[in-house]
Chain A
Amino acid sequence: MTKMTYREAVRAAMRKALREDPRVFLMGEDVGRYGGAFAVSHGLLAEFGPERIRDAPLSESAFFGAGIGAALGGMRPIVEIMTINFSMLAMDQILNNAATLRHMSGGQLNVPLVCRVATGGGRQMAAQHSHSLEGWYAHIPGIKVLTPATVPDAYGMVLAALREPDPVFIFEHATLYPLEGEVDESAETFDITRAAVMRPGNNVSLITYGGTLGKAMEAAVRLASDGVDAEVIDLRTLRPLDTQTIVNSVAKTHRAVIVDEAWRTGSFSAEISAQIVENVFDDLDAPVARVCSAEAPMPYAKHLEAATLPQVDQIVAAAQELVPRHG
């Protein structure tokens, strides 16, 4: 096992892929000479050169679409989009081409493209660099949506994604890049089909992914001191969703709190809630609860941003509300 940060894990995985497969290349804004807006690709240009660590103009639609074409032409592109808000500029290529071509062509084409995108708030970047829109992506048939919340997943999901025949989006929560953990660099296989039970518990399921996993884990510790035994589920992959792990957990705990940094209305948290209601309604001892971001564009000021994002106190309070008091 090698100790590294989340940032280093993504880089190590890309380096491994670039070394092992000549079809792999990285393309995006400032991935080369600058070293990546979040320094993820730092050092890769020196090792692999400008053909394979390809600085692109501020043309999200063109370079994402070029990634599609390159994938069709036999390459294995990794496209980096600096933030999820910028990915809106490539949405035509993402939805109308990448996700669609395989089916629309009657199965003749497939697009083995990996797109890495920084997502989420918490860094006072305000309303055009901070949102959590990965749930929108999870709405789209034809693609996979991965949300690594741990250092091993930051590593393994890149390598797993590069083995997929269809487009895979990896949403890296920007607050996680300095997170430290351990990676088994000798591993050969990386599962991206299952959610993970990060902490077993019996009284309530805290269901989350990405940047809010740490908050849910912290909430579970506080709940434990209050006598509430929380189970924490890291969804890991939003599409295709591992419904079974959610169902198993809620069937056991009978209560669910969904924690999602996205907005509540029309959201992925609503999808999780619907899955619970559709599958384990009879097992529920309380209504499903959700802790989401306030329904506002992300504000800049620290206290306002903190008030917008889901916080540990809210998760704890939501869970306590569901669990009956003993004694």
Chain B
Amino acid sequence: MTASDTSARPLVDREHSLFLLREMLRIRRFEEKAAEMYSLQKIHGFLHLYIGEEATGVGAMQVFTQQDNIVATYREHGQALARGIPARVLMAEMFGKATGCSHGHGGSMHFFDVSRRFYGGYAIVGGGLPVAVGLALADKMQNRKAITGCYFGDGAVAEGEFHESLNLAALWKLPVVFLCENNLYAMGTALERYQAQTDISRKASAYGLPSSAVDGMDILAVEAAAKQATDYVRGGNGPYLLESRTYRFRAHSMADPDLYRTKEEIESWKKRDPIVLFERKLRELGLLADSDLGRIESGIAAEIEDAVQFAEASPEESIEDLLKDVGGQVAR
């Protein structure tokens, strides 16, 4: 084996590479279907699509175990799918059905699956970070080996909760990977229009924790960076901040006319579509044939068709159960 073969070794695991590609495509097709279902008025409320950011959700998720905790944002469909929550219960949730992963109480922004330690989609920007710190605190105090992966967007970095949480996790050496998905916009406000220091990874130094930034359009780079981050955290060294530099190809939400950025900017980023880039790389390495792609796409199409049919056919939560899961009631 030559030296160049060795350096390429992480890339040449065909099975894993095809799995990563498939996971990204699952998210892409799921989101496209979600947009379609929104336009058909099957999905209501806010719908924030993950299209363009798939490499971050999929790449980073590979390094978390089932014992680890995941905390995500309101743009969490990608993480939920990558975590292994079935597409059908996610679609059912967005349809507002009883079979949804949150029984129709949460919708697109609030997916939960405690069996997979998926502790939710948080729709107050920055609001998930303190919860992630606490999950890690519980693990540490109970001598569990688990770590917590906390996804949040660049907008959260402007919130006090980001700074409070990084400080607290670093102070108490808690096992949290803070994973910033920097898509360059806090809703419609560009990073340079709301941050004096636009290099997000540098903010970690103020709290004494290590950090790095990675090309969020390169799934193998994301996976490797996330591995490095989780290795550090699993080593009992405290938290780590990983910034994944990415871009959302769709508007902030379905309600967003996307007037604050140029078509040229969007098109230039689409040239760095993480799925296209990875497909190209795999083809160059001779790891991907048209037949592979066809097989992957048809499998995904069947899964998503099933998800829609399941969501459509599922019953609604009974109104009689409306108050069932409100806590703090009189104990009977």
Contact = CB atoms under 8 A, between A and B. Distances in A.
Interface stretch (A39-47, A71-79, A318-326): A71-79
Nearest to B161: A61
Contacts of B328: 99, 141-144, 164, 166-168, 239-240
A33 interface: no
Interface stretch (A7-15, A106-114, A270-278, A292-300): A106-114
Contacts of B105: 103-106
A66 B134 contact: yes
A167 B327 contact: yes
A69 B331 contact: no
Contacts of B326: 102-103, 141-142
Interface residues of A, number: 49
B113 A25 contact: no
B175 to A, nearest CB: 11
B100 A106 contact: yes
A236 to B, nearest CB: 13
Interface in B289-332: 324-331
Interface string A50-85: 010000110101111111111111110100000000
Q: A51, A109, A165: which has the most chain B beta carbons within 10 Å?
A: A109
A14 to B, nearest CB: 17
A71 B110 contact: no
A70 B127 contact: no
A236 B328 CA distance: 15
Interface stretch (A89-97, A150-158, A195-203, A255-263): A89-97
Contacts of A102: 325-327
Contact of A107 (B122, B167, B325, B330): B325
Contact of B130 (A64, A108, A168): A64
A57 B136 CA distance: 17
Contact of B131 (A69, A99, A193): A69
Nearest to B327: A166
B112 A108 contact: yes
B interface secondary structure, majority: mixed
Contacts of A65: 127, 129-131, 133-134, 161, 165
Given A69-B133, A69-B134, A73-B135, A240 B100 contact: no
B101 interface: yes
Contact of B134 (A71, A106, A166): A71
Contacts, number: 162
Given A68-B134, A239-B328, A109 B119 contact: yes
B141 A106 contact: no
Q: B130, B133, B327: which has the most chain A beta carbons within 10 Å?
A: B327
B138 interface: yes
Nearest to B135: A69
A101 interface: yes
B167 A62 contact: yes
B103 to A, nearest CB: 3
A77 B105 CA distance: 27
Contacts of A109: 112, 114, 119-120
Contacts of B136: 69
Q: B160, B324, B325, B328: which has the most chain A beta carbons within 10 Å?
A: B328
Contact of A73 (B69, B100, B110, B130): B69
Contacts of B331: 164, 193
B102 interface: yes
A68 to B, nearest CB: 5
A166 B330 CA distance: 11
Contact of A57 (B102, B129, B139, B164): B164
Contact of A70 (B103, B124, B138): B138
A303 B115 CA distance: 58
B141 A25 contact: yes
Nearest to B123: A96
B277 interface: no
Q: B101, B137, B139, B171: which has the most chain A beta carbons within 10 Å?
A: B137
A62 B102 contact: no
Nearest to A141: B326
Contacts of B113: 108
A326 to B, nearest CB: 40
B25 interface: no
A183 B148 CA distance: 42
A65 B71 CA distance: 13
Interface string A212-224: 0000000000000
Given A74-B142, A105-B105, A97 B131 contact: yes
B122 to A, nearest CB: 7
B243 to A, nearest CB: 20
Contacts of A64: 130
A90 to B, nearest CB: 9
A62 B325 contact: no
A193 to B, nearest CB: 6
Given A110-B327, A165-B327, A105 B137 contact: no
A69 B168 CA distance: 13
A77 B138 CA distance: 10
Contact of B106 (A51, A97, A106, A240): A106
Interface of B: 69, 100-106, 110, 112-114, 119-120, 122, 124, 127, 129-139, 141-142, 148, 160-161, 164-165, 167-168, 171, 324-331
21 contacts: A56-B168, A59-B164, A59-B167, A62-B164, A62-B165, A63-B168, A65-B133, A69-B134, A69-B137, A73-B134, A75-B137, A102-B327, A103-B325, A104-B102, A104-B110, A105-B110, A105-B114, A164-B331, A166-B328, A193-B331, A240-B330
Given A64-B130, A92-B161, A102-B325, 20 more contacts: A57-B167, A62-B129, A65-B134, A67-B134, A69-B131, A69-B135, A71-B138, A72-B119, A75-B138, A93-B131, A96-B127, A103-B327, A105-B105, A106-B101, A108-B102, A109-B112, A109-B119, A109-B120, A166-B327, A240-B329
* A-B CB proximity, top 7 nearest: A69-B134, A65-B130, A73-B138, A106-B103, A166-B327, A62-B164, A107-B325
